[in-house]
Structure 1
């Protein structure tokens, strides 16, 4: 790359795919860089060991059982995957014979996880089979999560409120400047993501309407209309955790912020996890918030004015988004199918329609997809239907992790 050498490896079980992991795209966000926008990685006179994934970003875990934690663990981080505050890395899968000058298309993946958990090292989302079958280059990035990526601290005074989203932009800039070294073409980059990653993709189109760096977008199950961005206006969640760590919350906002930057990251996340696992009232919550830079409070007005990157866009949603996102029981969510349908309408159907209609108004090439796939090796319960995330294994070609694909399943993946 332009900054350092990366030592990769042939990806397991894919002799024609090279993997370059653990590539830093920003300086470690620790100490005085905690809760702050990412800083571009400096050149290093060293070789990065990129033979496997680096640590994922620190995870929030309330301990609540979900269909994913109990039956669909392939959507979560790989077993034993390390986590760390020093996590701003990305991973590249490329054809084994690719070289500078090949100018291959590039797919940049943003993972989901509710902006609180997740990472690139997730088995259903490994990019090797897309590379094997399509000849693209796939990039998957980590970004800061929960309080580390979305601190909502009063000291920030409404600016740079979403370091996790700024991480994503920094990673995309790194890919734009360096992907040529892997055989990729910076002029053929597509940004795609699912769930929180999909919301990130959609938000990115509004944050960088005139300088998107990429040439198209795919938003799978999530848009800017999926969530509210105005919670906790006083930053009380951040202040509460600071108080539990011994920071003097009667001090100035800047002093509280500086104190929190000095505390062990493991202590911060432990208080967050423990409080929400034992609460009887409102949970602590950290996620994207409107700052007028990366997230806005007036998306409807921006849609009406065409203030988004006017590039080819695919919006997709699944037929039963709510089945795996509502409260989990082996017999299905309380409220049954009506509850699933109501959630799906609000979460997926209407928000994707609004985004697509806004683009259609300005003659932007746009497509809507509704996924109905139900496969034996992906559905532990019949009532799940085409649940939230069910499309991921079909896109990444990883649907056989829990059992062999059916012939129809294999054929379906290559239709389009």
Structure 2
């Protein structure tokens, strides 16, 4: 264990060159990114980002991806400087597409977080007893946000509660999003497209190189993500087939999906002209122009009425592959235990305002299916009820089924699958929300609103946190009573329905169910379209 304690005044003198101070005793960790000066509170040590004495922002794991390094693979930051890591660094540039901007920002960016293109920060929380009792399991959290927005500093992702209650080291990260991280530009194809994924990989290397300095065991790392972060975890599994830098993975509302191998550069071309780079053809001259455009100008366009959504991944057969399920079955992916699932109402957030089934299906799937085909696999539901179910199934639930089935067929036995169904009054932030997308996160991190949460919600938070950390500590054993390892089909009760019907205690939160209870539309329609 490399964390030690040092007087705050000594640290201040080292960083700022002053003397004669009297201060608190603060934790120090020596890493490849420098000698990090953190903070201590309630038995937890935290290290939250780095600000250098020259006021130039630098990260614990990568050089600034700005100027000449914009749209380039991340470069590791190696330093032996003393650095203050007691405050979060800024988020990466965020994109909230104009049509739904007010609604999404109210849910996920209130109050707004500071943003900067220079943003590749990570944060670490570790139990204070890791100084004397090291080799703790490690949770690396990858945030969601449609690959367009999100940050490791979001208050709901604060790792203090998990570290304090369960003796686990928690790491949260930033990675480049929207056009900065997933540009889909012709000049960048194929090697410099999925830059946000490269940032994630560099983070995992940083964890392997440095987590022992915080009392963590690099051999006991579990990667965890939600939504686009969960899809990121699925892609990480795809590209780390040999000696993966993690032991297990948890995927919340997101999984691998088949991907069209032909990129579409249209949005990037429109973006280039919109910010003043009007070269006749894509190439080095246009790219140089785009690298000189201020990030603030790009942000204004991204979030303005003419801005286009960026967040599509590009098949490069290095960071993204077109055929994830076949790769799993062929043992070309990381062969580690996985816990994966979706929320019962994962679709409601994304279809607010959609009332016509035919129009909705055309926007989501074009001409791939007809209204009659869809109605046939949701008997007894009205069109208005079918709309959020379709979104949930196509984007979240069916990919989870395809992923788990593929892993089991490949011979991986430690596969745990769930559907989360808890509904609490204080979380109903829009009509018919239900157990909506991302509402499990504050329960797992223990960051729910203590002023509005009911007693059942408080209990469920303790339960969900125990389930997740049980898996992180031992991913080969059931994380809760009555939760069997997943077996596809209807012959076993191996799908865990979590917190349905008000059951929130660790000994009753799991309702064992056959997968077919939820997977009927997937098996009868959607899977054939998703596994292409």
State the TM-score, normalized to the length of structure 2.
0.71
Distance 1:259 1:211 in 2: 40
Verify the 8 A CA contact 1:100 1:180 in the aligned structure 2: no
Q: Equivalences for 1:10-409 in 2 at 5 Å?
A: 10-11=40-41, 15-23=42-50, 24=59, 25-45=61-81, 47-63=82-98, 64-65=100-101, 68-70=104-106, 73=107, 76-77=108-109, 79-99=111-131, 102-225=134-257, 228=259, 233-276=263-306, 283-328=308-353, 336-364=384-412, 365-381=414-430, 383-401=432-450, 403-409=451-457
Aligned 8 A contact 2:94 2:115 in 1: yes
Shift of the 160–92 alpha-carbon distance from structure 1 to 2, 3 Å rule, reads same
Contact 1:78 1:123 in 2 (8 A): no
Shift of 1:62: 2.3
8 A Cα contact 1:6 1:49, kept in partner: yes
Tell me the distance in 2 between the aligned counterparts of 1:138 and 1:200: 18
Q: Find the residue that maps to 2:425 and give its secondary structure.
A: coil
Secondary structure class of the residue paired with 2:31: coil
SS at match of 1:97: helix
Structure 1 residue 341 displacement after superposition: 1.3
Contact 2:443 2:462 in 1 (8 A): no
Unpaired runs of at least 5, structure 2: 1-29, 51-58, 355-359, 361-382, 464-479, 481-532
Contact 2:259-2:321 within 8 A present in 1 as well: no
Number of residues paired by the alignment? 398
CA, structure 1 residues 349+62, in 2 after alignment: closer, same or farther (shift >3 Å)? closer
How far 1:80 sits from its partner (Å)?
4.5
Higher-Rg structure is: 2
| Change beyond 3 A, Cα 1:261–1:8 | same
Contact 1:65 1:328 in 2 (8 A): no
Q: Whose relative contact order is higher, 1 or 2, with alpha carbons under 8 Å and at least 6 apart?
A: 1
Superposed CA deviations along residues 2-59 of structure 1, whole A, max 9, x for unmatched, are: 3211111135xxx2222101152100001111001100112142x2221121010000
1:68, distance to aligned residue in structure 2 (A): 4.6
Q: Which range is displaced more, 352-361 or 301-310?
A: 301-310
Q: Give the equivalent residue in structure 2 for 1:410.
A: 458
Q: CA–CA distance in 2 between the matches of 1:36 and 1:10?
A: 36
CA distance in 1, matches of 2:309, 2:460: 42
Aligned equivalents of 1:291, 1:195: Cα separation in 2: 22
TM-score with structure 1 length normalisation? 0.89
**How far does residue 328 in structure 1 lie from its aligned partner after superposition?**
4.7
Structure 1, gaps ≥5 residues long: 278-282
Looking at structure 1, the residues matched to 133 and 460 of structure 2 have their Cα atoms a distance apart, in angstroms, of 33
Work out the CA distance in 2 between the residues paired with 1:81 and 1:406.
28
Q: Distance in 1 between matches of 2:391 and 2:264?
A: 29
Q: Cα RMSD between the aligned structures?
A: 2.3
Mapped contact 1:107–1:191 kept (Cα < 8 A): yes
- Pick closer, same or farther for the CA change 1:44–1:240 going to 2, 3 Å: farther
Cα pair distance change 1:343/1:16, threshold 3 Å: same
Contact 2:329–2:410 (CA under 8 A) maintained in structure 1:
no
| 113-122 vs 265-274, which moves further | 265-274
CA contact (8 A) 2:127 2:167 kept: yes
Distance 2:299 2:426 in 1: 34
Contact 2:71 2:188 in 1 (8 A): no
Instruction: List per-residue Cα deviations over 1:202-240 (Å, max 9, x = no partner).
Output: 010001111321000000000122x74557x35222222
Tell me if structure 2 keeps the 8 A contact 1:207–1:293. yes
Contact 1:101 1:180 in 2 (8 A): no
2:302 match: secondary structure: helix
* CA distance, structure 2, for counterparts of residue 252 and residue 195 of structure 1: 33
Distance 1:213 1:142, change over 3 A: same
What is the alpha-carbon distance in structure 2 between the residues aligned to residue 297 and residue 100 of structure 1? 46
| Corresponding position of 1:2 | 31
